[in-house]
C-alpha cells in the first residue's frame, strides 16, 4: 500500500469551484426528486384515491426506469460532448418533474415518474464522468465528498421544504418549485459550463452496441460493477425499515424523527467534504478501510439496539452515516481510474444502473428477512445487519483487488494519490 502523500494539497481554480457547485446542485435536484415521493405518500394517496400498493408502484417506477435507461444509453454515452448529454437528460428530467407537478390522476403520475426516471437515472453518471474529466486524481476525493453532500442536503433542506410546500398548498407544489429552480440551473449549464469533449479526440468504437458490450465484459469493469452491487446493499437493506425500527423497537416518537434526520444530515454535510480531503491526503483505500470498519461496528450496534434516548440514536446514526460515506466517497474517487477516458460515460451509466437495480433487490431481500409483529416491532433486524456486514467484508476484498490493479497500471508518480 502506498504511503500517504506529504505534498501540499492542490487547490481548485475559480472555474473548478463553479463546476463542483454545479455538479452538487444537479445531484441535489435528482436525489430530492426521488426522495420526496415517500414522505408525500400520506398526501398523495387520499388525493388521488390510490392504495398503498399503487403508491409503491409509483415510487418503484422511477428506480426501475432509471436502471433501464442507464443500460440503454451506455453505448452512446461517450460519443458526444458530455455537456450536450447533460443538457438533454437534465431537460428531460425537468419535463418529467413538471409533469409530476401537474398530474391529476394515478395513471398520469405513474407515467410521469417513468419519464423522470428515464432521464434522471443518467444524470448521476454524467456528473461523475464530468468530474473525472475535469479534475486531477489528487482532487477527486474532495470533489466526490462535495458532490455526495447533496444527499445530506436533500434531507436537511429539501425534504422539510417539500413537506412545508405540500402542507401550505398541495402535494403538486414541491415538484413545480423543483422544476422552476431546475430551469434556472439548466440555463446556467447552457451559458456557463464549457464543453467537456476531451474524450472525443481519442479513437472511438464505431458501433455503440459493441462499445456497450466491451464496457460490460471488460474484467476490470466487472470487478468494479460487482463491488458497486455489494456496497449498495448497506443503505438499501437498512433504510426502508429504519423509521419503523426507531419507533416500534427503540421507542422513539414519530415527532422526533425529523430531529434525528435533521442532525444526521447536518453532520453528514460537515463530514462529507472532510472525508474527501482525507481520501486525497491519506489515500483512497486507507479511508475506505476506515469507513468499512466503522460501518461494520455501527451496523452491529444499530441493529441490536434496545429502547434508548433520542440523543443516543442521533449519535449512532451520525456515526453510521460517517462510516457509509467514508466507504462511498473514496470508492467513487478510486474507481474513476478504472475505465479509460473513452469508456467513462458508459462505465458510469452502467454502474448507476447496477446501483439502482441492486438497491431494489437489496430492499426486496431485506423485506423477506424481517417481519413485523402484532405490536409493530420489527423482528429479525439483526439478521439484516449480519448480511450487510458480510457484503461489506466482501467489498473490502474486491476494492483491495481494484487497488492492486490500479497500482500496476498507473505511473509511479500517480500512485501516492491512489
Q: How far is the C-alpha of 241 from the C-alpha of 239, rounded, in Å? A: 5
Q: How far is the C-alpha of 342 from the C-alpha of 345, rounded, in Å? A: 8
For the chain, domain boundaries: 15-197+207-415
Sign of the Cα torsion 318, 321, 323, 328 reads negative
Residue pair 346/78 in contact by the 8 Å Cβ criterion: yes
Neighbours of 287 (CB within 10 A): 25
On the question of pLDDT at 133 being above 60, the answer is: yes
Cell numbers given for 210: 459493441
Q: How is domain 15-197+207-415 classified at the architecture level of CATH?
A: Up-down Bundle (1.20)
Q: What is the pLDDT of residue 3?
A: 45
Cell numbers given for 184: 434556472
Residue pair 180/303 in contact by the 8 Å Cβ criterion: no
On the question of pLDDT at 297 being above 90, the answer is: yes
Please list the alpha-helical segments (H only) found in 284-343.
Answer: 284-303, 310-335
Q: Could you read off the pLDDT of 345-380 as tens digits, one per residue?
A: 777 777 777 777 777 677 677 777 877 777 778 788
Q: How confident is the model at residue 8 (pLDDT cuts 50, 70, 90)?
A: very low
Residue pair 368/314 in contact by the 8 Å Cβ criterion: no
pTM for this entry: 0.72
Greatest Cα pair distance, the chain, in angstroms, is: 63
Q: Could you read off the pLDDT of 241-262 as tens digits, one per residue?
A: 777 788 788 888 877 777 787 7
Nearest to 238 by CA among 294, 330, 300: 300
Distances (CA, A) of 306 to 23, 293, 313, 354: 40, 22, 10, 34
Q: How confident is the model at residue 282 (pLDDT cuts 50, 70, 90)?
A: confident
Cell numbers given for 197: 469533449
Q: How far is the C-alpha of 399 from the C-alpha of 408, rounded, in Å? A: 14
On the question of pLDDT at 203 being above 90, the answer is: no
Q: What is the DSSP string of 30-76?
A: HHHHHHTTTTTHHHHHHHHT--HHHHHHHHHHHHHHHHHHHHHHHTT
Higher pLDDT, 141 or 413: 141
As beta bridge partners, residue 378 has 372
Q: Could you read off the pLDDT of 144-175 as tens digits, one per residue?
A: 777 777 777 776 666 667 767 777 788 888 88
Radius of gyration of the chain measured on its C-alpha atoms = 21
Q: How far is the C-alpha of 205 from the C-alpha of 77, rounded, in Å? A: 12
Amino acid at each position: 500500500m502506498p504511503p500517504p502523500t506529504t505534498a501540499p494539497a492542490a487547490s481548485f481554480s475559480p472555474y473548478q469551484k463553479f463546476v463542483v457547485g454545479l455538479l452538487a446542485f444537479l445531484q441535489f435536484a435528482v436525489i430530492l426528486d426521488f426522495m420526496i415521493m415517500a414522505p408525500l405518500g400520506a398526501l398523495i394517496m387520499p388525493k388521488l384515491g390510490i392504495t398503498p400498493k399503487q403508491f409503491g408502484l409509483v415510487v418503484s417506477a422511477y428506480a426501475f426506469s432509471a436502471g433501464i435507461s442507464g443500460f440503454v444509453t451506455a453505448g452512446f454515452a461517450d460519443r458526444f460532448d458530455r455537456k450536450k448529454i447533460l443538457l438533454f437528460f437534465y431537460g428531460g428530467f425537468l419535463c418529467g418533474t413538471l409533469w409530476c407537478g401537474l398530474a391529476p390522476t394515478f395513471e398520469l403520475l405513474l407515467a410521469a415518474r417513468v419519464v423522470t426516471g428515464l432521464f434522471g437515472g443518467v444524470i448521476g453518471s454524467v456528473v461523475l464522468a464530468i468530474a473525472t474529466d475535469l479534475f486531477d486524481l489528487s482532487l477527486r476525493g474532495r470533489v466526490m465528498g462535495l458532490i455526495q453532500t447533496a444527499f445530506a442536503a436533500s434531507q436537511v433542506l429539501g425534504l422539510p421544504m417539500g413537506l412545508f410546500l405540500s402542507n401550505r398548498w398541495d402535494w403538486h407544489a414541491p415538484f413545480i418549485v423543483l422544476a422552476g429552480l431546475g430551469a434556472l440551473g439548466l440555463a446556467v449549464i447552457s451559458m456557463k459550463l464549457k464543453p467537456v469533449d476531451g474524450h472525443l479526440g481519442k479513437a472511438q468504437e464505431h458501433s455503440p452496441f459493441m462499445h456497450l458490450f466491451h464496457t460490460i465484459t471488460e474484467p476490470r469493469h466487472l470487478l468494479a460493477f460487482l463491488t458497486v452491487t455489494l456496497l449498495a446493499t448497506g443503505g438499501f437493506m437498512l433504510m426502508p425499515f429504519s423509521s419503523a425500527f426507531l419507533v416500534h423497537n427503540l421507542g422513539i416518537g414519530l415527532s422526533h424523527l425529523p430531529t434525528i434526520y435533521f442532525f444526521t444530515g447536518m453532520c453528514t454535510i460537515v463530514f462529507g467534504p472532510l472525508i474527501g480531503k482525507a481520501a486525497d491526503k491519506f489515500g483512497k483505500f486507507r479511508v475506505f478501510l476506515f469507513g468499512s470498519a466503522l460501518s461494520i461496528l455501527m451496523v452491529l450496534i444499530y441493529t441490536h439496539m434496545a429502547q434508548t434516548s433520542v440523543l443516543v440514536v442521533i449519535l449512532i446514526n451520525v456515526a453510521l452515516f460517517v462510516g457509509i460515506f467514508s466507504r462511498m466517497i473514496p470508492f467513487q474517487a478510486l474507481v474513476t481510474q478504472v475505465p479509460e477516458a473513452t469508456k467513462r460515460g458508459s462505465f458510469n451509466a452502467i454502474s448507476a444502473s447496477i446501483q439502482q437495480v441492486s438497491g431494489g433487490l437489496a430492499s426486496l431481500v431485506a423485506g423477506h428477512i424481517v417481519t413485523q409483529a402484532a405490536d409493530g416491532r420489527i423482528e429479525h433486524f439483526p439478521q439484516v445487519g449480519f448480511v450487510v456486514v458480510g457484503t461489506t467484508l466482501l467489498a473490502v476484498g474486491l476494492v483491495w483487488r481494484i487497488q492492486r490493479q490500479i497500482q500496476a497500471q498507473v505511473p509511479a508518480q500517480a500512485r501516492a494519490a491512489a
